Amino acid sequence: MVLWFIKWIFVAAIWVLALGSLTVIWFAIGLPSTDGLESSAAKNRRQSFLLLDANNNNLALYGDFYGDRINSSDLPLHLIQSVVSIEDRRFFEHSGVDLKGILRAVLVNIREGKLIQGGSTLTQQLAKNLFLTPERTIERKIKELLLAFWLEYKFEKIDILSIYLNRVYMGSGTYGVEAASMQYFGVQTKNIDITQAAMLAGLLRAPARYNPINNMNMAIKRSKLVLNSMVETGYLSRAEAAAHKEKLKDYKRRGINGKTHGSHKTMHKAQPDYFSDWVLKNATGIIADKGSDVIIETTLNPAMQTLAKIVINEVEIPETQVALIAMSSEGRVCAMVGGRDYSESQFNRATQALRQPGSAFKPIVYLPAIEAGLDPDTILLDSPITISGWSPKNFTGEFKGKITFREAFSRSINTTAVRVAENIGRKNVLQAARRLGITSELTKHPSISLGAGEVTLIELTAAYATFSNGGYAVLPYGIRKISAGTDVLFLHRSRRLNPVISSQNAATIDDLLRAVISHGTGRVADFGGIAAGKTGTSQGSRDAWFIGYTDDLVVGIWMGNDDGSPINPINGRPVTGGGLPAVIWKNYVTKVLQSPNRTSCF
């Protein structure tokens, strides 16, 4: 009887072993390859694009941010001790799966009545993070165990830890301890102290919850737990742990002030905006398929950008959109606001919206006539005119008869603009617009002389920059440099300016634009300094513009509704370019000229 029992026990054991082996083989067949894992610290991850402003501070981050790969030999000992103490105390003893650790975690969780500890080893976490989905199934758990054993067989312990710390998510869009060290503390991982190591180790369990940027109190509480664990494992004395807990109080007082790449400020403020979207779109052809992370150094002046948002927020018509663009006279874009609220609408009204410029287009209309000999003292006729059944009217509804070109320009008389355009030829007007960099499709109707064609704010502002710089072509730009690792993909260089109108004719336009502000429709924009500009209002007050310049600063303002409906009147009076847009322009230019932080633009 005993022999019979032993026999069947032996048979059952064989069957269990056979079935277990088949199960292992079955799941092992579907396991992913670990080849090349050690050398590929950024495998299968999204490329990131970090944009910096003109002061090389973080402006916007697209994608996830990965730090440079750290070799196992460069990991600080206290970081290793911190991570092992809190995450896997028997890491250097087990073979990938820690049965004692699992049992200890179960007992602790039962005693506390809630989930306090997990039983997964660092090797298992690496296997799960690299190869498996987060689903909770028996199949996934078996594969996790098999991969853990395989990783332990193929790699040294310190290499497994290095791969894990180079890949793990550390909060605030950062992956790997190098990115996290730069993000939270502004130092490379090799230079972090024990207090910082404890805070980083504390992030591993729940990066969002223990993120010091989002919740400093929780981060400090977790860091203290890590320091206690280091005492329990013998890595720190109680006195040493107490000293580091005192250091944690400094972070509570002053907060986190880390940097990215050693010279760029924290990334939690690096949020996309209208300007960064425009820059990234312009950089697409350069950065596509580069594989590594890309850093784009832009021209945005943070002080000027802040002032732009301030003056726009002061506008009293909340349902109406406002756009602003500020650039130097050679096209360096220093501030851009594409709408009231980027979070509500990412449509950039400074670069994408095609709107009728009204009289703001008249300098372009008059340019070919000036080139043909028209001067500010030439006498023009302001009287009724009809072309192919179209009879334009002046804003006031009155006609002044004979009038000098300067006065007609400064008072934005419509009939004179139409007569001049018809005499010089609409074809020449369109050619002048193209020379000044306006690429939008323009109407060939006689109403082109009154700005009935549609243009963007950025291209019309760039045209005015040509008037301000003496007649040289302007191509607005927002990128100074693009690099990927040590490779420089693009570097903006000052190029030889190409004259598109003569300096004499540019001076004539400048003289006329100054008259607009001194005694014309743009008087509201007069801030007491030398300035030139032009108002523009489309039919029915659907668009209101003011574009002007002073010193080396060119600023364009547009107001309107996205659906093309008329702007709501203010105090019963229609909104025109010489009203609220001119006020915004004046307020902005005044603030910028008073700012000591505008030198990176002009």
Report pLDDT digits (tens) over 400-411: 899 999 999 999
Q: Mapped to the 3 state alphabet, what secondary structure does 237-284 carry?
A: CHHHHHHHHHHHHHHHHHCCCCEECCCEECHHHCCCCHHHHHHHHHHH
d(C-alpha 408, C-alpha 404), whole Å: 6
Report pLDDT digits (tens) over 105-124: 566 656 666 555 556 776 66
In degrees to the nearest 10, what's the CA dihedral of 19, 25, 31, 34?
130
Average pLDDT, the chain: 83
Q: What pLDDT does residue 493 have?
A: 87
Q: Is the pLDDT of residue 174 over 50?
A: yes
SS3 content of the chain, % helix, strand, coil (to 5): 45, 15, 40
* Dihedral pair phi/psi, residue 65, rounded to 5°: -105, 120
Q: Is the pLDDT of residue 42 over 70?
A: no
Report pLDDT digits (tens) over 335-370: 999 999 998 999 999 999 999 999 999 999 999 999
Of the chain, the percentage scoring pLDDT greater than 70 comes to 79
Lowest-pLDDT range of 22-26, 57-61, 142-146, 384-388 = 22-26
Report pLDDT digits (tens) over 364-378: 999 999 999 999 999
Q: Is the pLDDT of residue 507 over 80?
A: yes
d(C-alpha 263, C-alpha 161), whole Å: 28
Report pLDDT digits (tens) over 401-450: 999 999 999 999 999 999 999 999 999 999 999 999 999 999 889 899 88
**Chain centre distance of CA 407:** 45
d(C-alpha 475, C-alpha 241), whole Å: 59
d(C-alpha 74, C-alpha 41), whole Å: 15
For residues 522 and 547, the answer to whether their CB atoms sit within 8 Å is no
